[in-house]
Structure 1
Amino acid sequence: MKVTGEQLYSKLVDDYKVIGETGIINFTLKDLTISIETKDTVGNLLQEWLKAWMKKESVEFEENTNSQTFPDFHLDKENRKKGLLEVKSFDWKRGPGFDLANFDSYCNSLLESAYRIDSDYLILAYQMEGSQITIKDVWLKKIWELSCPSGTYPIKVQEKKQVIYNLRPGVWYSERSRFKPFSSKEEFLSALNETRYQYPQTRHGNGHWLNNVLRNYEAHTGVSLDVK
């Protein structure tokens, strides 16, 4: 069964009703079974569970053979420009601390594969007590609906010793967040471009970056974006 990201989300949340459900994480080696109470494996386990669930539901997909490259899944096996799905998870009590993408790699990828900006992010928030996890909420978002400005740059990033490493999400689900998510892909691209101008390592080579991304996006999608 071929589905879009929106249809997959609806099957998982509305039909399967995964929100509020619980799971137990155990590990067995020979005759000894232990309960896993650390959170460092939860993200990978949830992604593996999602893959098994999609197979059970006869959902068509193809997993990326390289777990370090984008995306996690292709929901459209014929058209690799559509149906791109990234899966993220986070501890509900701590808030979203995952990376949206590597800053340099993402910016460079948009020059050749600007359609990537339309990818879906399926995000699962969990709460862990002992070895039991509870799914607290699930979202399907675009990258601009997760990203937001920050006090340092026009877009929120992970920066260490004045080096930008990753694009980071805001707290998109909280009304109390100081910085709200971007309202459109155009606003997101504008903030990304302005950040590249402010960041010393990309400032000098940034003159044509945005125009090249916009041309590439139109070449792939037929849609002309107007970014100020």
Structure 2
Amino acid sequence: MHVYFGMPLSVRQLTKGRVDRCEYNLLPRDLPQRPSVETQECVSWLAQQVIRVQEQSSILSPWSLMACLVLQDHQNTDPAGEEREKGLSWELLTQRTLWLKGLAISFGARLDWPEQPPENQVMASSMALHRSVIRCHQGRVTLLEEEGPVGAGPFTTEEGVVRRARAVLMVAAYRNQALHVFIRPAMLALAIHTTRSSQRGELDTQLTER
């Protein structure tokens, strides 16, 4: 995990000309008050600016990209355990991760991906570091489940969800590190697909509604 301490941001400078701070000088600070629409819009804009600054300094690991695909496959798996193969094949996971890697780079993401080792070796090393929540068995990658009592019978859907909760939450934490790279392009692609148009006015309307 990378920790980057960037340059401090001045809220006073960023909000200059957007919010009249003088009106708050005569109001007691301890009294609760509802912020104005202007203030709420400024806070929303400021939050987006801070996120953009954080994104510019963030670095993604191979495991973050792999986590996106592992969880996507997990959502299509029945926790009750049907008689079918579960998980992603290692070859398919490798292929999709490399595709996602190229997509992330094209969107301007920064990756901590070693250049010298083979790509499948980099992915295998990343998965080995998180072997407490994921495994590759007989060429298929699946999340680990908590083992039930010895001799217990088939478990229900609810029990299956609980057994996978720890692994899902841990993998989701890494998946969330990469989501910001794809959110805006995905929303734009969805708006274009919905409106069947590339006109900026129509796209802005769709994005605002969503």
* TM-score, normalized by the shorter chain, greater than 0.5: no
Which protein has the bigger strand share? 1
Larger radius of gyration: 2
Identify the TM-score tier after normalising by the shorter chain.
under 0.3
Which protein has the bigger helix share? 2
Greater RCO (Cα-Cα under 8 Å, separation 6 or more):
2
